[in-house]
């Protein structure tokens, strides 16, 4: 039904390529996930040693947690963290919203609970007055790479492969990567470029590229 996908679920992206329905996966850029919640932080997750520890504290406090519940890249990341925490989330405290990130942030703020959010959506909503704070950040598990994958025309002849590839080439080009690098909300960059063209132009140190590969 689509010619190309931009998504942030690396394991599934690589699986799509290995199964043959995606032609190629190229990195666009990255940001990070935050665990956000009310300023008074009733579960005390700001003191957590990791994202998994934060989730355990939420469970112990029976604090409200709002999940995307929609099989999105963000939802998949949330479930990865629950797995690392050794917890199968269930109960009245755990709410599956089945909504997009913006809507879930609104619900979380209204109910004074916790949720997992990508940096871009959080920063945009925060600038508009969202009353939630970043309480956990910086854990490597919260790294959030984005990829672009055209659908393979050999497996799905009906796709517009030429335009799909043209778009993929455009968004990974140095010119577009520079636009991404300069896109900010209230002085905060929302994404870090990470295409091959960008890394080549920046003469990037191998450590950063290696960190990207390791986080995926």
The pLDDT-based confidence of 1 (bands split at 50, 70, 90) is confident
As given in the structure block, the two tokens for residue 36 are: 């956000």
The candidate with the shortest Cα–Cα distance to 25, out of 147, 111, 110, 118, is 147
Reply yes or no on whether the pLDDT at 188 is more than 90: no
Mean pLDDT calculated for residue range 4-30: 93
pLDDT digits (tens, 9 = 90+) for 81-115: 999 999 999 999 999 999 999 999 999 999 999 99
Reply yes or no on whether the pLDDT at 186 is more than 90: no
- Report how far residue 52's alpha carbon sits from residue 85's, in angstroms, rounded to the nearest whole number: 5
The pLDDT-based confidence of 203 (bands split at 50, 70, 90) is confident
Mean pLDDT of the chain, nearest integer: 93
pLDDT digits (tens, 9 = 90+) for 132-168: 999 999 999 999 999 999 999 999 999 999 999 999 9
Backbone angles phi, psi at 183, to 5 degrees: -85, 115
The pLDDT-based confidence of 204 (bands split at 50, 70, 90) is low
- Report how far residue 60's alpha carbon sits from residue 48's, in angstroms, rounded to the nearest whole number: 13
- Report how far residue 41's alpha carbon sits from residue 159's, in angstroms, rounded to the nearest whole number: 48
The pLDDT-based confidence of 43 (bands split at 50, 70, 90) is very high
The pLDDT-based confidence of 208 (bands split at 50, 70, 90) is very low
- Report how far residue 70's alpha carbon sits from residue 51's, in angstroms, rounded to the nearest whole number: 21
The residues that bridge with 84 in the sheet, in sequence order, are: none
Percent of the chain past pLDDT 90, that is, above it, reads 89
What's the pLDDT at 207? 44
Angle separating helix axes 51-61 and 73-85, nearest 10 degrees = 80
């Amino acid at each position: 039904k689509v010619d190309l996908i931009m998504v942030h679920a690396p394991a599934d992206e690589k699986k799509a390529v290995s199964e043959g329905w995606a032609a190629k996966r190229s990195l666009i850029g990255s940001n990070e996930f935050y665990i956000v919640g009310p300023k008074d932080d009733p579960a005390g997750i700001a003191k957590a040693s990791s994202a998994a520890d934060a989730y355990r504290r939420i469970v112990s406090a029976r604090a409200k947690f709002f999940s995307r519940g929609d099989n999105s890249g963000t939802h998949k990341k949330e479930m990865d963290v629950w797995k690392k925490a050794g917890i199968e989330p269930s109960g009245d405290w755990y709410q599956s919203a089945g909504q997009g990130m913006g809507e879930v942030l609104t619900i979380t703020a209204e109910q004074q609970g916790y949720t997992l959010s990508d940096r871009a959506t959080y920063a945009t909503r925060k600038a508009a007055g969202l009353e939630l704070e970043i309480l956990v950040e910086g854990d490597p598990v919260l790294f959030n790479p984005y990829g672009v994958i055209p659908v393979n025309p050999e497996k799905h002849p009906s796709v517009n492969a030429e335009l799909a590839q043209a778009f993929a080439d455009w968004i990974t080009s140095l010119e577009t990567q520079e636009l991404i690098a300069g896109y900010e909300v209230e002085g905060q960059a929302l994404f870090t470029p990470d295409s091959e063209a960008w890394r080549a132009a920046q003469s990037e140190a191998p450590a950063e590229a290696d960190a990207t590969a390791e986080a995926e």
